[in-house]
Amino acid sequence: MTALDTPTPLRPAVRPRPRPGAGRVFAAVLRRDLMVTGRELWVILVQVGLTPLFMLFVFDTILGGQGIVGRDFAGLFLPGIIALAALTTALQSVALPLVKEFGFTMEIEDRLMAPLPTGLVAIGKLVIATVRGLLAAVLIYPLGALVVGSAPWRPAGLPLAFLVALLGAWIGGAIGMALATTLPVQRINVTFSVILTPIIWTGCIHYPWPRLTMPWYQVVTALNPMTYVSEGVRGALLPGVPHIPAWVCLSVLTGAAVALTWLSVRCFSRRAVQ
Amino acid sequence: MLPSRAGPAVVEVHDLVKRYPRSDANAVDGLSFAVAPGEIFGLFGPNGAGKSTTVGILTTRLRATGGRALVGGVDVGRDPATARAQLAVVPQHNNLDRALTPRQNLVHHATYHGVSRREAQARAAELLDRFGLAERADRRIEAHSGGMAQRLMIARALTHEPLVLFLDEPTNALDPQTRLLIWGQIRRLRERGVAIVLTTHAMNEAARVVDRVGIVDHGRLLTCDTPENLVRGLAGDAILDLTVTPAPTDDPDALRAALGELDGVRKAERLALPAGPADRRAGAGLPGGVRAGLAGAGGGAALAALAARAGGGGLAALAGAGRLGRNGAGTNGGSPVAGGRGRLRFRLHLATDPAALLGPAVTVLAGRSAAVNAVDVGEPSLEDVFIELTGREPR
């Protein structure tokens, strides 16, 4: 290195003020979102509750009552519904507000201007999305049981089910954030349908993966992270039903979570600082 | 380009360059300036000149392509998070948190900057009071007018007591009361040593508060000085606007040249004639100016008085002959097209008292058989400097 290569240092200006601790600022940013989440609890309930509960009602009460669907289908379906609630709630609760905050109201600017690395603001969004996803999963369990009239109950499997749902929610949040920060606002609606619909229908919510007979469909479903959430929750609550082993679900979900976290934080940061 | 005030610079911009992706020109093209603590620095320029991009880089929302920028001694490119602890920004658009009340907006903002909740509450209460927002502090934000939102955004920016405050078009589309309040608060901040960087189009209004002005166009700094120096240096001491009807055979450029050769005239330029009646809008470019209206009954007398003060016999003769009265009436009562036909508008930048030049100017015009329709005397403003530097073409 010669002196020519280095830029001439500017003379020191005023002594900078130290920045507050990142943990403290992160907590403050999170606190705002938690407060808003707490206030919107009923919104989450409606947002997540309606589709799965109607699904349960139609598949179990209606079709089951007509004898078209077996009576034990509901037990198999409910874990899938819990998994669906975790992932899609997280996805929607980060994507829709972010589209609004970046595209129209610019509300997020105040948090982006906090003395905190931008990536941590993104991580805060993922944390909140995960909290909302888990909340949805926890709420849908008893509500679904009410609709069906019974539910698989296996306390020993609950920690695993919770862990899988948490990973599923985190992944959902990351997918939502990546979409919301990269897609043009005009195309967000159509993309949501294009992405969300296959996630739901190829996610093994309604059926156990090992019982699939068409190889090509097994491959398609195996590419969907939703599958491992459904299978993981189902395996934890109904060990008797054939399912993908828990260790496979946890490994795939952890891998997907790491990759999607990296991707979504990168997308967020690129959107925030151009 | 050192700050005018004593002390080390709190904002330093060095050869700053920004090129947006898929663009073939630099939005900011080698910009350099510095701002001292307690200084109000105005960054003025036409739309698309690079002001907002510069502010975007300084506030860490945009990444510079080249050069360096320091805010509060922190390199905004290398350590944006620490840089954000030094500054606050009030953007053009309303970016208030609509999920929160005004009070919560201030409290949460302060906690984002590490202020304890108790202290944040106290500061919020004080600022809401200072900006006249206490009454509606706990109502939903949707119910707020543009002026209230702007005040709230400034109050919010102050909750963490920044070293540098960036204001992007702070008084755009606000009522006079709110503007007064905002300018008052800005002066108060200066007294406390806060450096303020503001961009605006309301230049003549801002000229009363800013300490220094940088005029930017095409991403480059065209000039940087105190408003007084800029005005005196570029636009002259006074401006004389003449609306005349030349003799049919006279050449407009020759007429302009003849006026420009007068003693005390630094520059003569031809202005576009306003689309409407010349009289109604001739003075539009001279906000601080004295309008010597020639139209109507009093026009001749007023002009005669002006001419008498200036000692210009030719003008008095013109007024006495009633030629001005006729033209004035035509402009007022007749159709704009007919009234404006054949007229020319000249702006003379003067180095002397305009009254002393009025007589000679009218003498030149009378000598070329040109009729004077309107005379406007004005003090040049920052806006004149701005137009002088950046041209008249709209962007």
CB spacing of A16 vs B86 below 8 angstroms? yes
Q: Could you tell me the residue range of the domain that residue A175 belongs to?
A: 27-273
What pLDDT shows up at residue B274? 66
CB spacing of A17 vs B85 below 8 angstroms? yes
What pLDDT shows up at residue A73? 81
Cα–Cα distance for residue pair A241/B370, rounded to 1 Å: 103
The CB-side HSE value for B233 (13 A sphere, CA atoms) comes to 10
Assigned domain for A251 exists = yes
CB spacing of A14 vs B89 below 8 angstroms? no
CB spacing of B114 vs A116 below 8 angstroms? no
Mention every residue, 6+ apart, whose C-beta is less than 8 A from residue B227: B42, B207, B210, B212, B213, B382
Nearest CA-CA distance, residue A13 and chain B, Å: 5
Mean predicted confidence (pLDDT) in B328-357 = 62
Assigned domain for A43 exists = yes
Beta pairing, strands B195-199 & B164-168? parallel
The model's pLDDT over B184-200, given as tens digits with 9 standing for 90+, comes to 888 888 888 899 999 88
What pLDDT shows up at residue B131? 87
Residue A3 has pLDDT above 50, yes or no: no
| Greatest Cα-to-Cα distance within chain B, rounded to the nearest angstrom | 80
Handedness of CA B337, B340, B342, B347 (dihedral sign): negative
Q: For the ranges A77-86, B168-177, B308-317, B371-380, which has the lowest average pLDDT? A: B308-317
ipTM topping 0.90: no
What pLDDT shows up at residue B236? 64
What pLDDT shows up at residue B7? 63
Mean predicted confidence (pLDDT) in B82-99 = 90
Residue A152 has pLDDT above 50, yes or no: yes
What pLDDT shows up at residue B336? 39
Residue A225 has pLDDT above 80, yes or no: yes
Nearest CA-CA distance, residue B245 and chain A, Å: 53
Separation of CA B276 from chain center: 24
Residue B309 has pLDDT above 70, yes or no: no
- What torsion, rounded to 10 degrees, do the Cα atoms B309, B314, B317, B318 define? -100
Of A16, A18, A28, the CB nearest to B112: A28
Residue B73 has pLDDT above 80, yes or no: yes
What pLDDT shows up at residue B201? 75
What pLDDT shows up at residue B110? 94
Q: Which two tokens stand for residue A60?
A: 């179990």
Chain A environment of B109 (Cβ under 8 Å): 110
Of A16, A111, A114, the CB nearest to B72: A16
What pLDDT shows up at residue B395? 62
Q: How confident is the model at residue A131 (pLDDT cuts 50, 70, 90)?
A: very high
What pLDDT shows up at residue B143? 65
* Domain spanning B11-232, CATH class: alpha beta
What pLDDT shows up at residue A160? 92
Residue A50 has pLDDT above 90, yes or no: no
Residue B1 has pLDDT above 80, yes or no: no
Q: In this structure, are residues B200 and B170 in contact, taking their beta carbons and an 8 Å threshold? A: yes
What pLDDT shows up at residue B322? 35
Mean predicted confidence (pLDDT) in A43-72 = 80
Q: What residue of A is the nearest CA neighbor of B18?
A: A274
| Greatest Cα-to-Cα distance within chain A, rounded to the nearest angstrom | 85
Write out the DSSP string of A179-220.
HHHHS-GGGHHHHHHHHHHHHHHTTTSSS-GGG---HHHHHH
Q: What residue of A is the nearest CA neighbor of B84?
A: A115
Write out the DSSP string of B354-382.
HHHHHHHHHHHHHHTTPEEEEEEEE---H
What pLDDT shows up at residue B286? 45
Chain A environment of B68 (Cβ under 8 Å): 7, 10
The model's pLDDT over B253-301, given as tens digits with 9 standing for 90+, comes to 888 888 888 887 878 888 877 654 444 434 444 444 444 444 433 444 4
Percent of chain A with pLDDT over 70: 94
Residue A224 has pLDDT above 70, yes or no: yes
CB spacing of B97 vs A110 below 8 angstroms? yes
Separation of CA B184 from chain center: 18
Provide the number of structural domains found in chain A. Answer: 1
Assigned domain for A10 exists = no
Residue A26 has pLDDT above 60, yes or no: yes
What pLDDT shows up at residue B314? 43
Q: How confident is the model at residue A128 (pLDDT cuts 50, 70, 90)?
A: very high
- The Cα-based distances of B93 to A180, B47, B63, B323 in angstroms read 21, 15, 20, 53
Q: In this structure, are residues B102 and B94 in contact, taking their beta carbons and an 8 Å threshold? A: no
Residue A122 has pLDDT above 90, yes or no: yes
Domain layout of chain B by residue ranges: 11-232, 238-379
CB spacing of A14 vs B7 below 8 angstroms? yes
What pLDDT shows up at residue B392? 67
Residue B302 has pLDDT above 50, yes or no: no
Cα–Cα distance for residue pair B238/B356, rounded to 1 Å: 11
What's the angle, vertex CA A263, arms to CA A188 and CA A123, rounded to 5? 90
Q: How confident is the model at residue B59 (pLDDT cuts 50, 70, 90)?
A: very high
Q: How confident is the model at residue B340 (pLDDT cuts 50, 70, 90)?
A: low
Chain A environment of B72 (Cβ under 8 Å): 13-14, 16-17
What pLDDT shows up at residue B275? 57
Residue B142 is which amino acid? E
Q: How confident is the model at residue B331 (pLDDT cuts 50, 70, 90)?
A: very low
Cα–Cα distance for residue pair A253/A230, rounded to 1 Å: 11
Model confidence pTM above 0.80 = no
Assigned domain for A21 exists = no
CB spacing of A17 vs B163 below 8 angstroms? yes
CB spacing of A17 vs B97 below 8 angstroms? no
Nearest CA-CA distance, residue A133 and chain B, Å: 20
Of A15, A39, A274, the CB nearest to B73: A15
Residue B316 has pLDDT above 80, yes or no: no
Separation of CA A269 from chain center: 19
Mean predicted confidence (pLDDT) in B48-65 = 90
Residue A87 has pLDDT above 70, yes or no: yes
Of A14, A29, A39, the CB nearest to B72: A14
Nearest CA-CA distance, residue B57 and chain A, Å: 9
Q: How confident is the model at residue A54 (pLDDT cuts 50, 70, 90)?
A: confident
